[in-house]
A = this chain, B = another copy of it.
Amino acid sequence: MPTMIKDSVSHGDPLVNLPGYLVRRASVSILSGLNSRLRALDLRHIECTILQLIRANPGIRQSDIGRLLDIKRANVVPLVATLEKRRLIRRRAIDGRSQGLHLTHSGDALAVRAFSIVQTYENSLIDGMPGDLRAAVIPVLTWLWNSAEQSDADKPTAKRATR
């Protein structure tokens, strides 16, 4: 009976050198920190993202948001409904079936405050990072994202990409 007690085994994570694994671990931590900070505005990260999206694209439709963020449009419904209930956004009919989304005054103000929080947080993530590494951050992440999207698009059968 190979007794294993705390210090008899060095419990290490054998995956810490895999990019995809690191991305996932980083993502969870980063998201957690962001949500903590956005809680001051009673916003979740996804709600904040939608506000920024509408701010940058006044008149955007729910279905556009779903496509841009890779969220099924069925899941956008409750998000937009919540923001509308809080009078942060409002809908204007585009035609009989489409509704353009717009920020209200208070919605715009909140979006600005939220984006400020986001930027401060984002900056904190790369604060102190050596310049050569910092220059690689966006290119590396964009590359990884695109690679995953592409390789996923290749997949024929399996339960296809999600979000």
Contacts and interface: CB of A to CB of B under 8 A. Distances in A.
A14 interface: yes
B33 A118 contact: no
Instruction: Indicate the member of A8, A21, A37, A140 with the most B CB atoms within 10 Å.
Output: A140
Main secondary structure, interface of A, reads helix
Interface residues of A, number: 88
A121 B162 contact: no
A145 B14 CA distance: 16
A12 B19 CA distance: 27
A19 B126 contact: yes
Contacts of A18: 118-119, 122
Given A5-B64, A11-B53, 15 more contacts: A3-B100, A4-B61, A5-B61, A11-B57, A15-B118, A18-B122, A22-B142, A26-B148, A27-B28, A29-B148, A30-B148, A37-B158, A125-B151, A126-B143, A126-B147
